[in-house]
Amino acid sequence: MEKTVQLYEGKAKKVFATTDPALVIVSYKDDATALDGLKKGTIVGKGAINNRMSNHIMQLLEKQGVPTHFVAEINDRETVVKKVSIVPLEVIIRNISAGSFAKRYGVEEGIVFSEPTIEFSYKNDDLHDPLINDYHAIALGLATREEIETIKKMAFKVNEVMKEYFKGLGVTLVDFKLEFGRLDDGSIVLADEISPDTCRFWDSKTNEKLDKDRFRRDMGGVEDAYKEMMRRVFGE
Ligand code: ADP
Ligand code: UDP
């Protein structure tokens, strides 16, 4: 599989075309952004950690019947994935209050919900990824009702699989963001990444933050938190 032209450079990854039109190669960077792009920095080693962790989780999800874009890991930073047309929605599942939820509703972080929640943001940098509901997403033609129902089912299933998996590693899955895409046949698959950039992970015993919140909130120990998640997942 050969990389050809660069199709896109995002905040955390580059996407390359390949000799196969159905496949692209994603290349994970150490660059980190937060606060709607206002805060920029580098988290040394993040690219490799996110690449490997994301691939590991996607394979676990495939085994549990969740279709994903994953095809093959090429090296520490690069992975071949199925090229999809991204549904421009950030799909956020929450098990425990944190981040924008706590801020918006004026509650503390750490409230364990009686059942998981789902919300959508419209992936649009110019509009700063505003919160959107499913009716508005359909009105804007971002997805069909059927696609949204499929996405909801898949997102809750991902939550169940991941919650159990991370519990076994002594990690509480607080919340996370998913992206979905359409293959040529119109079917929906899980795309993008699942990593400490896109999930909130708290140590089950101490509630210590093991994710990008350490970068967002200038808490220090950012690299160590990513390395600790790597150690829990791969034992290294
Ligand atoms: P951003 O665009 O938010 O800066 P990234 O730096 O992570 O994000 O860039 C990766 C881009 O690739 C994102 O826009 C994401 O939606 C897109 N993407 C993820 N998976 C796939 C895929 N399988 N096919 C095509 N595009 C994808
Ligand atoms: N998230 C993400 N990308 C975004 C926004 C959020 O990966 O552009 C993830 C974030 O890591 C967290 C979850 O989605 O695990 C919920 O984030 P929240 O809405 O609380 O936003 P934040 O506190 O980051 O503003």
How far does residue 152's CA lie from ligand 1's centre (Å)?
20
d(CA 4, CA 147): 31
- Supply the pLDDT for residue 178: 99
Question: Which residue ranges have their beta carbon within 6 Å of ligand 1?
Answer: 8, 10-13, 15, 24, 69, 81-84, 86, 179, 181, 191-192
Q: Which atom of ligand 1 is nearest to the CA of 15?
A: 12
What residue's CA is closest to ligand 1, atom 27? 192
How far does residue 99's CA lie from ligand 2's centre (Å)?
7
Q: How confident is the model at residue 1 (pLDDT cuts 50, 70, 90)?
A: confident
What residue's CA is closest to ligand 1, atom 2? 10
* Residue that wins the pLDDT comparison between 2 and 28: 28
Phi, psi of 144 (to 5 degrees): -90, 165
Identify which ligand lies nearest to the alpha carbon of 209: 2
Q: How confident is the model at residue 196 (pLDDT cuts 50, 70, 90)?
A: very high
d(CA 85, CA 227): 32
Cβ density class 9-42: b for 16+ within 10 Å, e for less: eeebbbebbbeeeebbbbbbbbbbbbeeeeeeee
Residue pLDDT, tens place only, 129-185: 999 999 999 999 999 999 999 999 999 999 999 999 999 999 999 999 999 999 999
How far does residue 80's CA lie from ligand 2's centre (Å)?
25
Question: What does pTM read for this prediction?
Answer: 0.98
Residue pLDDT, tens place only, 32-57: 999 999 999 999 999 999 999 999 99
Contacts 24+ apart (CB under 8 A), 112-115: none
Name the burial class of residue 112, with classes exposed (0-12), middle (13-18) and buried (19+) by CB atoms within 10 angstroms of its CB: exposed
Domains in the chain, please, with CATH? 3-82 (3.30.200.20), 85-221 (3.30.470.20)
Number of other CB atoms surrounding residue 183 within 10 Å? 16
- Does the beta carbon of 199 lie inside 6 Å of ligand 2? yes
Identify which ligand lies nearest to the alpha carbon of 197: 2
Q: Which of 194, 164, 166 is nearest to 179 (CA)?
A: 194
- Does the beta carbon of 120 lie inside 6 Å of ligand 2? no
Identify which ligand lies nearest to the alpha carbon of 177: 2
Q: Which of 153, 177, 160, 138 is nearest to 61 (CA)?
A: 160
Best probe residue, ligand 2, of 53, 198, 200, 219 (max atoms within 8 Å of C-beta):
198
